[in-house]
Amino acid sequence: MGDVNRFAMNQITAGPTWGFAESLTRYHALGIRGVGVARERLLEYGLEAGARLLRDQGMSVASYCFGGLFADATGLRLNERVDDFRRMLDEGAAIGAASVVFLAGGLPDGSVDLAGAQERALEGLSRVIPHARDTGMTIGLEPLHPSTCAFRSVLVTTGQAMDWIEQLDNAPELSIVFDVYATWWDPNLEASLARANGRLSAYHLSDWLRDTQDPRLDRGMLGDGCIDVRSITRWVEATGFSGFHELEILSERNWWRRDPSEAAATGLERYEALV
């Protein structure tokens, strides 16, 4: 049975209704002590004030979302994104985040050079690793579902994330943000997770709806779809992961249209019953 002490809410799940402070207060009132912080909400509220509020409420930051997008950035834009990710590592350190979430980015407009896009992501990563070391932060590589490869993430499986980490000399500053929504379909999932032993820094939960209408923004509530969350959680825990189980639902069709308290309360209830 899911333990509330391991449960976290990602602020994105609240949709546009709640800002940084309101989501913290509301989640805290439900007994939740972990939060996935959305960068734009934190910066809108103010980094220092946000860090203070997290401390005052005793909330831990399960993950800090998100930066990177190096793969589709060419020339000077890649430099800008690298600099921006370094700033994000500073921010992550200020709020004590378990990891700063890295999304690879897709292909540049008009490009068919998938290998080149992947190389740019790796090159950018090699440039931010020293700053992760200096700030004591870990960079969490988050593979996304392959349907997002063109525009969002050329990193699509857990095995590929491990390949990248190996290509970057197994830098201890690199970890994996494992999201069931992105990875549940992978026939090699159990073996890839075994290979990722000791490398997971965050765990994102939601469900894949059979009739999904959008692979990015139509995520389902735990228990409403076809992901075997209990088995996958067992494999995740077998890697030695002991962090938060974080509910992250992007849902234009359903949850973002409702009172965000409902997603939090239902999520916690389902988590306790299903995970």
Residues 238-267 that bind Zn ion (CB under 5 A): 248
Q: Which stretch binds Zn ion (CB under 5 A): 71-79, 121-129, 171-179, 266-274?
A: 171-179
Residues 177-196 that bind Zn ion (CB under 5 A): 179
User: What is the DSSP code (8-state) at residue 89?
Assistant: H
Judged by CB under 5 A, the number of residues near Zn ion is 3
CB of 169 to Zn ion, least distance (A): 26
- DSSP, residue by residue, 172-220: TTEEEEEEHHHHTT-TTHHHHHHHTTT-EEEEEE-B--TT-S-TTTB-B
User: In this structure, what token pair is assigned to residue 40?
Assistant: 């734009």
Q: Does 204 bind Zn ion (CB under 5 A)?
A: yes
Site string for Zn ion, 81-120 (x = CB under 5 A): ----------------------------------------
Q: Which stretch binds Zn ion (CB under 5 A): 20-28, 127-135, 201-209, 210-218?
A: 201-209
* Contact by Cβ (8 Å): 137, 99: yes
CB of 110 to Zn ion, least distance (A): 28
The answer for residues whose C-beta is within 8 angstroms of residue 49's C-beta and 6 or more apart is none
Distance, CA of 196 to CA of 267 (rounded, Å): 27
Residue 21 or residue 250: which is nearer to Zn ion going by CB?
Answer: 250
